Amino acid sequence: MKILLLNILEGCEEPERFQKLVSFINKEKADVLCLLELNNWHKNEFKKLHNFKTLTQFSNHSFAYSNKGYHLGIFTKEQVIKQQRYNDNFNHGFLKCVVLYNEEEYTFFLTHLTPHSYIKRKKEISTILQQVKHERKTILLGDLNALSPEDNYDKQQLHKMLREKNIEKFGIEKISTQTIQKILDNKFLDTIKSKKEINHTVPTSMNSDDNHCAKLRLDYIFVNKKLHNQVENVEIIKNMETNKLSDHFPIKLTLN
């Protein structure tokens, strides 16, 4: 199973960039595609969403409204068994979707955690983790807007730079990694292995967000214990094409 994750940047409104997005996705041939920031894709009776499905030949989808308009979507050619949308007390929300692949059920939790408060992020991720049933094959993924304790940041230097720019997103007194730590403590595997150099997902050349002022990993794909041994390959796709596709780089996970 190939899983592709991408924050497409505010609905990918520009026609030329939208065509590039479709072309990229068709080349990747994902079995499950998870997209964030589907701004305005619900308008005109979901005209843009249905156009996207036609162009990419995804037969099934699950769509979740964000409280702030940054909607979530999961697309697949496989059977969607169950879906649940949740946005109470979330800045955006999360989407739970159960997909049947090769007669096995895979539960996806797709989320876009709040970019504003590391304290609120911890509450949001706790709400999601309460929904997880570890006896099922589970993938938790999305733009988590949080830093990992397993990444090799110089936390003091990063904190100093962020505070000089009045950025409190990742902590006030010090850098907080508690959101990601909560996920790891719940027996999830971070499929991106730590390296000496940060394997960042932001910024790209399209960046205009002051919060992306350094090389940071904000996008993640986690799997629970049921899937630890099925992780075959994972890649943050960085090339000339993806550098101009969005302000985040895509992540591709292959499960055997």
Give the integer Cα–Cα distance in Å for 155 and 255: 33
pLDDT at 118: 94
Residue range 211-239: mean pLDDT, rounded? 96
- pLDDT greater than 80 at residue 47: yes
Residue range 114-128: mean pLDDT, rounded? 96
What's the domain range around 33? 2-255
Number of domains in the chain: 1
Regarding predicted confidence, which is higher, 197 or 118? Answer: 118
> What b-and-e string marks burial along 121-138, b requiring 16 or more CB atoms within 10 Å of the CB?
bbebbeebeeebeeeebb
Which residue in 147, 34, 42, 130 sits closest to 89, CA to CA? 130
pLDDT tens for each residue of 7-37: 999 999 999 999 999 999 999 999 999 999 9
User: For the domain that residue 65 is a member of, what is the CATH number?
Assistant: 3.60.10.10
pLDDT at 229: 96
pLDDT tens for each residue of 50-76: 999 999 999 999 999 999 999 999 999
> What is the residue-wise DSSP string for the chain?
-EEEEEE-STT--SHHHHHHHHHHHHHHT-SEEEEE--TTTTHHHHHHHHHHHHHHT--EEEEE--TTS--EEEEESSEEEEEEEE-TT-SSEEEEEEEEETTEEEEEEEEE--SS-HHHHHHHHHHHHTT--TTSEEEEEEE-----TTS---HHHHHHHHHHTT--TT-SSS---HHHHHHHHTT-EESSPP-SS----B--TT---GGG-S-B--EEEEE-GGGGGGEEEEEE--STTGGGT-SS--EEEEE-
pLDDT at 221: 98
pLDDT at 11: 98
- Do the Cβ atoms of 217 and 195 come closer than 8 Å? no
Averaged pLDDT score across all residues of the chain: 96
Residue range 100-122: mean pLDDT, rounded? 97
Q: Confidence class of residue 113 from pLDDT cuts 50, 70 and 90?
A: very high
pLDDT at 194: 66
pLDDT at 195: 67
Beta bridge partners of 100: 79, 105
pLDDT at 13: 97
Q: Confidence class of residue 197 from pLDDT cuts 50, 70 and 90?
A: confident
